[in-house]
Amino acid sequence: MTGFATKSWRRLMMCRPSQFDVIHKGHNAYMTMEEPVNKNLAMTQWEGLKSTFESIGTKVEVIENTKDQVDQVFCANCALVWGGKALISNMHNVPRRAESEPTIAWFKERNFEIYDSRPHGMNLEGCGDFAYNYDRKHAYLGYGFRTDEDAYNLVKDVIDFSGTEFHSLKLVSELCYHLDTAMLNLSQGHALVFRPAFSKESLNLIKEINGEENIIELTEEDCVTNFVPNAIPVQDGDKHYVVGMAFSPALERKLQDLGYEILLTPYQEYRKSGGSIRCSVLDIGI
């Protein structure tokens, strides 16, 4: 693939996790607070992820962590970015809503066009619930837990999806509360999918769009333990990378056989908050 595909995941926002912690028990199924966060290790893992992206030529731009905003490191949720426009989120969980103002200021400094979804009063959690095929022919908005079903119409009205078909996908498993914890679209047209995450109708739509032959069904181990849907696909010329926290040996072999190079970067401290790699980056170059 060329053109749009090679521009994906090449310019990222990341939030330095100086305030990261898990203090909101039960905000998702993973936030049990059974084990405290090792903050030094969390910072080391974040720096390692940033370095991994930079090592393959991806530009990373950092937003500093606002005081007391423990979840801001998961900046994928703060906005939906497409075509130079930043659609600012309205977070489902009240403690995260204070992230919006520093996010708006950051995008203004970079001359993005900004649309604030908050006055509409519906929940919309940015690129946590947004995905697209690498060729840009199809894009998706997930709903069911953090994003409201009606947000689809708002996104469709605000974002110019010319040349891209925009679809809505219903999430039904609390283990996959965002779309980026349920499905990953890779750079050669494959889609990694956790079947139990989707309604029957949404799963059929995913298969219809991507083709049964391109669907790789994920085990619970790879979805829930390894957070594989939360990996990042990066194409650099004829190289097809998948940057992830962990993969089962069987899935790693399968992806390698399909021509993908796996770049492992430890990120397990963030799973304590129900997040991983893709939660921690926002593609601002699409």
Whole-model pTM: value is 0.95
- Side chain identity, residue 161: F
pLDDT of residue 116: 98
Query: What are the pLDDT digits (tens) for 223-253?
Result: 999 999 999 999 999 999 999 999 999 999 9
pLDDT of residue 5: 52
Whether residue 4 is predicted with pLDDT greater than 70 in this model: the reply is no
Q: Is-contact 265 48, C-beta < 8 A?
A: yes
Q: What is the mean pLDDT of residues 261-266?
A: 98
Q: What is the mean pLDDT of residues 14-40?
A: 93
Q: What is the mean pLDDT of residues 167-189?
A: 98
Which DSSP state fits 37?
A: -
Query: What are the pLDDT digits (tens) for 121-131?
Result: 999 999 999 99
The span from the CA of 286 to the CA of 196, in Å, is 29
Q: Is-contact 206 138, C-beta < 8 A?
A: no
pLDDT band at residue 2 under the 50/70/90 scheme: very low
Query: What are the pLDDT digits (tens) for 133-171?
Result: 999 999 999 999 999 999 999 999 999 999 999 999 999
Whether residue 1 is predicted with pLDDT greater than 50 in this model: the reply is no
Whether residue 179 is predicted with pLDDT greater than 50 in this model: the reply is yes
Query: What are the pLDDT digits (tens) for 206-222?
Result: 999 999 999 999 999 99
pLDDT of residue 26: 82
Query: What are the pLDDT digits (tens) for 45-70?
Result: 999 999 999 999 999 999 999 999 99
Q: Where are the beta strands (DSSP E) in 83-178?
A: 85-88, 113-116, 130-132, 138-143, 165-170
The span from the CA of 26 to the CA of 31, in Å, is 5
The two structure tokens encoding residue 175: 């283990």
Tell me which of 147 and 7 has the higher pLDDT: 147
Q: For the chain, what percent of residues have pLDDT higher than 90?
A: 94
pLDDT band at residue 187 under the 50/70/90 scheme: very high
